[in-house]
Amino acid sequence: RLANSQRLAEPQLAGRPSASLQPRMSWARGLTGEGLEELNRVLNRENYGGEAKRLRNHKNIPAGTRQKGKKVLLIQTGGTIDKDYPRKTKGYAFQISDPAVHRILAKANLDLQFKTVTACRKDSTEITKADRLRILQLCMRSPANHILVTHGTDTMIETAQLLGQAQKWRKGLSNKVIVLTGAMKPERFVDSDAAFNIGAAICALETCKPGVYVCMNGRPLRCDTVGRDKVSGRFISKL
């Protein structure tokens, strides 16, 4: 048996839990220190959820214990990922709402510093050359070397190729990792691929060499090799 100071805390249930609710965990015998504390937190589910939320809230963490991660610039351009359907009556017309990436990243405990700017709020079929030059300027002027662009899927490749061409002769872009991503369904939809694509894009920012990439369907592809399958709609490598 464990010593009194090492006994597992019982789940915080109303009244005393029945014997059937007290699992026999012989594997837990001998746990001490952080291991025992973690198991106690898991058993006490009500407290565990609150603690996880507290740890994600940087305001509640003492300044001396905060870690400063790499800076990431988030550029919103619109597209399906940010579409919302706010009307309650008279049709189902959509509008481009606040950046969906905020809601997605708020659920993750990332050691990154984010700054968000909006280049435009358009369906990608309506993005013009002027809009793309605006995106280019934001990338060049940012001190961040890691940039995530949320974009509509229809013309995502065109924007990526413009940024890729500029990176060849613009000194301000040579050391930057720029990743474009989006979604086939709005982030507001329960079956959206938005969260998956944002997660893959963040991973690409962390692991890819400087360059411009399109990250969709779980694969970061360089802007000069990316294509799209007209039947499935998937982004594929032309190599």
SS3 (DSSP) at 29: coil
Rounded mean pLDDT of 115-132?
Answer: 95
**Is residue 137 over pLDDT 80?**
yes
**Is residue 47 over pLDDT 60?**
no
List C-alpha distances in Å: 233 to 2, 82, 108, 229: 58, 19, 28, 5
pTM of whole model > 0.85? no
The more confident residue out of 206 and 3 is: 206
Rounded mean pLDDT of 22-44?
Answer: 59
**Is residue 55 over pLDDT 80?**
no
What's the pLDDT score for residue 91?
A: 60
What's the pLDDT score for residue 138?
A: 95
Comparing 28-37, 51-60, 121-130, the range with the smallest average pLDDT is: 51-60
According to DSSP, residue 196 is labeled H
Token output for 46: 């009500």
What's the pLDDT score for residue 88?
A: 62
According to DSSP, residue 43 is labeled H
What percentage of residues in the chain have a pLDDT greater than 70? 68
Q: What is the mean pLDDT of the chain?
A: 80
Contacts (Cβ under 8 Å, ≥6 apart) of 75: 116, 117, 118, 119, 135, 138, 139, 147, 148, 149, 150
Token output for 161: 């190729």
What's the pLDDT score for residue 59?
A: 46
